[in-house]
């Protein structure tokens, strides 16, 4: 996906977010609703106590179970009842019932299992809960008509910070669940969750910090943060093992494990830009360029000055031959981190692919200036010199690359090719031989190695044949010249590099070539 497509996709997602909100606003205009957001599309809108007990025992009395838990909670906080009654200035027959509900409300918000279902009077808050978590699954937004369940709705008398921030109301259904009409459910596609959360934070100030605005929320977030980083570092460890793996199968397995750990980290900690970036790297190394680019997109969206993410996305664009967008990303990375030698090197390679030779060499010069021992930059600059025929400069840069990284087969192969282009076949053969020793699966080296030997021997046959012409050893000369021609040497052209034509040779040597040999050494008529 190029930059224009990314911008289009971002605009499309924002418009879809606004369409969903407009739908909710329109339906809510008449009032009479409370709202709930769920990160997954569960089978029922149910209480945590129902999900824990009621699904397995469909006919269980959830309220009986809740009373048992409530009794245990009250026993654990023996002085709570009296102190709370005084605090709320309670008296009368309903005191116990009110205090029981306050205990349940507090249990509910701090993670305990109750038969209360949390709703809110703010559809923005409900949208937050529909999108916060389970990033790879659809969420849902639920309208609930208050008139239909008015006897089940309860409001706490002593709302805590979180209850106030979430604008909460509680529904206490006798069976542990409610079943809204299909028309009262709006599905939030997984692909829109990130855009919705960004919109809610930017335009309405709704975020994790504002929703869980107490110490319990901080502690919970702290725990999630720690677990997310455990997953993150586990993913990083798998990537390290993939790098040193000795087989492709083992590498792929470790990258798959790495991706799974990063995905879990992202699930635990929304907005975890580093996890997206590292997962993108794992996708890249496993060959999944499309998902890599998507993760780099998200990392950049979450952290606009993420130089490394721009660089890696630029590298992906280069591999996909989207050279214009690659250079744009490299430009941003360089602007954010000017001494980033690797970015200059890769931008130079991209300029080279575009045929902008001057810019390519300038970038390789800059990379080497920042990092004088950067072997790949010397090699890449040598490749450009080789391409434009400046073979001595190319060989000089390959020499430096080999000096810095003597066990890399590709450097020897490339230098060997430069020697081959200069017709220095012995040096070419030495480099190809070294490349093969370092990397025996390097098939192209074998081909070039054979060519170098072939051209070397072919030229040897030609020059021995020419020497035999001077000795008038016609049959042996003809045999050598024919062998050189059959091995690929253009013997007529080589002959005419030394002599203008057959007649000139005969005049110089005082001989007359046999007709068949003269024919071998005569250039074709145009």
Q: Mean pLDDT throughout 134-147?
A: 88
Calpha distance 176→53 (Å, rounded): 10
Q: What is the pLDDT of residues 301-354, one digit of tens each?
A: 888 889 999 999 999 999 999 999 999 999 999 998 877 899 999 999 999 988
Exposed / middle / buried, residue 424 (Cβ in 10 Å: 0-12, 13-18, 19+) = middle
How high is the pLDDT of residue 109?
A: 65
Please state whether the predicted TM-score (pTM) of the whole model is above 0.75: no
Q: Mean pLDDT throughout 267-291?
A: 90
Q: Is residue 33 part of a domain?
A: yes
Choice among 236-240, 356-360, 392-396, 468-472 with the minimum mean pLDDT: 468-472
How high is the pLDDT of residue 78?
A: 55
End-of-domain residue from the set 198, 213, 228: 213
Q: Helix or strand or coil: residue 355? A: coil
Number of domains in the chain: 2
Calpha distance 348→334 (Å, rounded): 12
Q: Mean pLDDT throughout 106-113?
A: 68
Q: Is residue 228 part of a domain?
A: no
End-of-domain residue from the set 213, 228, 262: 213
End-of-domain residue from the set 164, 185, 213: 213
Q: Is residue 144 part of a domain?
A: yes
How high is the pLDDT of residue 449?
A: 44
Q: Which domain holds residue 119?
A: 3-213
Calpha distance 339→341 (Å, rounded): 6
**Contact predicate 275/266, CB 8 Å:** yes
Q: Is residue 123 part of a domain?
A: yes
Q: Is residue 27 part of a domain?
A: yes
- 153-154 and 33-38 beta bridge pairing: unpaired
Listed in sequence order, the DSSP H helices in 320-442 are: 323-336, 341-354, 357-370, 375-387, 391-404, 409-421, 425-438
% of residues, the chain, pLDDT over 70: 81
**Contact predicate 126/36, CB 8 Å:** yes
8-state DSSP, 43: S
The mean predicted confidence, pLDDT, of the chain is 81
How high is the pLDDT of residue 223?
A: 57
Q: Is residue 79 part of a domain?
A: yes
Inform me whether the pLDDT recorded for 92 exceeds 60: no
Q: What is the pLDDT of residues 431-460, one digit of tens each?
A: 877 876 777 555 454 444 445 555 565 665
Calpha distance 194→205 (Å, rounded): 15
Residue 455, H or E segment: helix 443-470
Q: Mean pLDDT throughout 183-202?
A: 87
């Amino acid at each position: 996906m190029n930059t224009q497509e990314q911008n289009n996709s971002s605009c499309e997602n924002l418009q879809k977010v606004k369409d969903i909100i407009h739908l909710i606003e329109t339906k809510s205009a008449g009032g009479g609703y409370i709202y709930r957001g769920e990160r997954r599309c569960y089978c029922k809108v149910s209480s945590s106590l129902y999900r824990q007990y009621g699904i397995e025992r469909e006919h269980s009395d959830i309220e009986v179970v809740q009373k048992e838990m409530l009794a245990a909670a009250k026993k654990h906080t023996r002085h709570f009842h009296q102190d709370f009654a005084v605090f709320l200035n309670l008296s009368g027959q309903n005191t116990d019932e009110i205090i029981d509900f306050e205990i349940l409300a507090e249990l509910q918000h701090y993670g305990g299992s109750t038969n209360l279902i949390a709703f809110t009077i703010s559809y923005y808050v409900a949208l937050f809960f529909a999108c916060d978590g389970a990033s790879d699954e659809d969420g849902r937004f639920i309208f609930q008509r208050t008139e239909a369940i008015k006897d089940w709705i309860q409001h706490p008398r002593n709302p805590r910070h979180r209850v106030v921030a979430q604008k909460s109301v509680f529904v206490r259904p006798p069976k542990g669940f409610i079943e809204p009409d299909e028309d009262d459910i709006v599905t939030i596609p997984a692909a829109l969750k990130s855009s919705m959360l960004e919109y809610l934070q930017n335009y309405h100030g709704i975020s994790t910090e504002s929703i869980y605005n107490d110490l319990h929320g901080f502690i919970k977030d702290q725990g999630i943060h720690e677990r997310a980083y455990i997953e993150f570092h586990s993913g990083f460890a798998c990537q390290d093992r993939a790098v040193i793996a000795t087989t492709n199968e083992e590498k792929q397995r470790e990258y798959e494990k790495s991706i799974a750990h990063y995905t879990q980290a992202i699930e635990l900690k929304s907005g975890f830009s580093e996890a997206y970036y590292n997962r993108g790297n794992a996708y890249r190394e496993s060959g999944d360029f499309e998902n890599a680019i998507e993760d780099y997109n998200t990392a950049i969206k979450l952290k606009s000055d993420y130089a490394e993410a721009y660089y890696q996305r630029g590298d992906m664009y280069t591999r996909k031959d989207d050279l214009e967008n690659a250079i744009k990303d490299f430009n941003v990375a360089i602007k954010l981190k000017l001494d980033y030698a690797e970015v200059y090197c890769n931008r130079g390679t991209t300029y080279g692919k575009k045929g902008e030779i001057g810019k390519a060499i300038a970038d390789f010069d800059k990379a080497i200036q920042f990092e004088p021992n950067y072997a790949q930059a010397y090699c890449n600059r040598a490749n450009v010199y080789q391409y434009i025929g400046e073979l001595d400069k190319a060989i000089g840069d390959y020499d430096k690359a080999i000096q810095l990284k003597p066990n890399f087969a590709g450097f020897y192969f490339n230098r060997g090719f430069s020697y081959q282009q200069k017709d220095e076949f012995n040096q070419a053969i030495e480099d190809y031989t070294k490349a093969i020793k370092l990397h025996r699966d390097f098939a192209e080296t074998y081909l070039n190695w054979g060519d170098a030997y072939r051209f070397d021997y072919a030229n040897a046959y030609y020059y021995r044949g020419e020497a035999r012409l001077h000795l008038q050893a016609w049959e042996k000369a003809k045999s050598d010249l024919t062998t050189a021609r059959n091995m690929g040497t253009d013997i007529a052209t080589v002959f005419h590099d030394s002599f203008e034509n057959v007649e000139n040779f005969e005049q110089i040597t005082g001989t007359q070539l046999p007709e068949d040999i003269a024919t071998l050494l005569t250039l074709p008529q145009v």
